[in-house]
């Protein structure tokens, strides 16, 4: 197939067994490589879906501007999707946004607005969201994407990634294990998979310090993993277990994935590896686990793959044991 643009190349990412990372013969861990989307992350899916659905139903028109608070991946994806469809995009970022993501946003054609004032939770998310709303109110023909409350977010994964997994994986799926931030990907994929596998358990991997599932707010260093707000689109009744993973354990998971499988993935993928390890260490039966590796490792060279950055964290083996709730 010859595509007409990069945005039409989004999706149909491959799946691979992680049998070197998880060598237990009773365990089948299958990962969807979302970093192989053209924009480098799973966020290409909602970006394309939101833009194309908006153009289809008339809520978006060529020449309009989208605005969104983003730590990087969705912003990069929206910059690509909007530009290819004749729209403009403003990304509202903060000082924790990596230098690589800032440069990519600029190269993809986004206008970048940096907030510097911490919010009431000690992070920047609420400040970013407020600034995004201010920009929309002050800009004619501007639309707020609002990924935490936008049903098109989870629907993008339901209609694409969820179906793609079913097309590839034969037989039962016992667990879906996925990292969370907006909750769009885990919910969209889970809802589609459960139509065929109603007994499947859904395990959310959240960051230590994230408040998504009611835990105490705390400092977090990895962008795009966890959140300091509860997403409006989240339905906690659809999540069977939550595993909280710290930054150091996420970094260790990234390095384990690279060492064993030669998969160079981002911080939330390392958290997923740690979450699967915590889950499977408690299992007393054979199981198939499906997971999603959200983005590429190049965007984390100065984070989880930087020895000095990791040394500034607590030793991975001294991380408090992951908190598991159901």
DSSP 260-271: HH---B-HHHHH
In the prediction, which pLDDT does 120 show?
79
- Distance between CA atoms of 67 and 131, rounded to whole angstroms? 10
Strand spans (E) along the chain:
15-17, 27-33, 65-69, 88-93, 111-114, 142-144, 175-179, 201-207, 241-245, 287-293, 323-325
Quote the pLDDT of residue 123.
77
Predicted confidence at residue 207, as pLDDT, reads 97
What pLDDT is recorded for position 314? 62
Summarize pLDDT for 129-139 with one digit per residue, the tens: 999 999 999 99
Is the model more confident about 54 or about 313? 54
How far apart, in Å, are the Cα atoms of 33 and each of 37, 42, 110, 163, 292? 8, 9, 26, 15, 7
What is the per-residue pLDDT for 17?
98
pLDDT at 121 over 90: no
pLDDT surpasses 70 at 79: yes
User: CB burial class (10 A; 0-12, 13-18, 19+) of residue 202?
Assistant: buried
Instruction: State residue 326's pLDDT score.
Output: 44
Q: What is the mean pLDDT of residues 210-218?
A: 93
Residues classed as catalytic: 43
Q: Enter the tokens of residue 81.
A: 């999707």
pLDDT tens track for 142-180? 999 999 999 999 999 999 999 999 999 999 999 999 999
What's the confidence (pLDDT) of residue 64? 97
Taken in order of first residue, the domains within the chain and their CATH numbers are 6-37+153-310 (3.40.50.1100), 44-144 (3.40.50.1100)
Provide the angle, in degrees to the nearest 10, between the axes of the packed helices 161-168 and 151-159.
Answer: 20
Q: Is the pLDDT of residue 319 over 80?
A: no
Indicate whether 41 pLDDT > 50.
Answer: yes
Q: Percentage of residues in the chain with pLDDT exceeding 70? A: 96
Q: Which of 1-5, 118-122, 227-231 has the lowest mean pLDDT?
A: 118-122
- Calculate mean pLDDT across residues 29-50: 97
Closest CA to 101 of 39, 157, 179: 39
pLDDT in tens, 265-311: 999 999 999 999 999 999 999 999 999 999 999 999 999 999 999 99
* Mean pLDDT of the chain, nearest integer: 93
């Amino acid at each position: 197939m010859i595509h007409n643009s990069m945005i039409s190349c989004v999706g149909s990412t491959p799946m691979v067994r992680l049998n070197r990372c998880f060598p237990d013969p009773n365990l089948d861990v299958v990962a969807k490589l979302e970093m192989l989307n053209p924009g480098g992350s799973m966020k290409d899916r909602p970006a394309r879906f939101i833009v194309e659905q908006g153009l289809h139903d008339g809520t978006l028109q060529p020449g309009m501007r989208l605005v969104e608070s983003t730590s990087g991946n969705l912003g990069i994806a929206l910059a690509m999707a909007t530009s290819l469809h004749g729209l403009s995009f403003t990304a509202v970022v903060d000082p924790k946004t990596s230098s690589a993501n800032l440069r990519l946003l600029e190269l993809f054609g986004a206008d970048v607005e940096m907030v510097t004032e911490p919010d009431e939770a000690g992070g920047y998310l609420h400040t970013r969201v407020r600034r995004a709303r201010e920009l929309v109110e002050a800009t004619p023909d501007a639309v707020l994407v609002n990924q935490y409350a936008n049903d098109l977010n989870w629907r993008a994964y339901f209609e694409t990634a969820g179906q793609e997994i079913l097309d590839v994986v034969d037989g039962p799926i016992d667990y879906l294990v996925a990292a969370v931030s907006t909750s769009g990907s885990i919910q969209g994929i889970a809802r589609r998979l459960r139509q065929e596998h109603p007994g499947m358990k859904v395990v959310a991997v959240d960051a230590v310090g994230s408040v998504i599932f009611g835990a105490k707010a705390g400092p977090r260093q990895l962008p795009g993993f966890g959140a300091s707000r509860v997403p409006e689109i989240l339905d906690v009744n659809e999540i069977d277990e939550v595993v909280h993973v710290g930054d150091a354990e996420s970094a260790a998971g990234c390095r384990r994935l690279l060492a064993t499988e030669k998969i160079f993935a981002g911080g939330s993928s390392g958290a997923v590896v740690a979450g699967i390890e915590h889950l499977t260490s408690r299992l007393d039966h054979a199981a198939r686990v499906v997971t999603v590796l959200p983005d590429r490792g190049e965007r984390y060279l100065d984070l989880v793959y930087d020895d000095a950055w990791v040394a500034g964290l607590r030793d991975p083996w001294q991380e408090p044991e992951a908190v598991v709730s159901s």
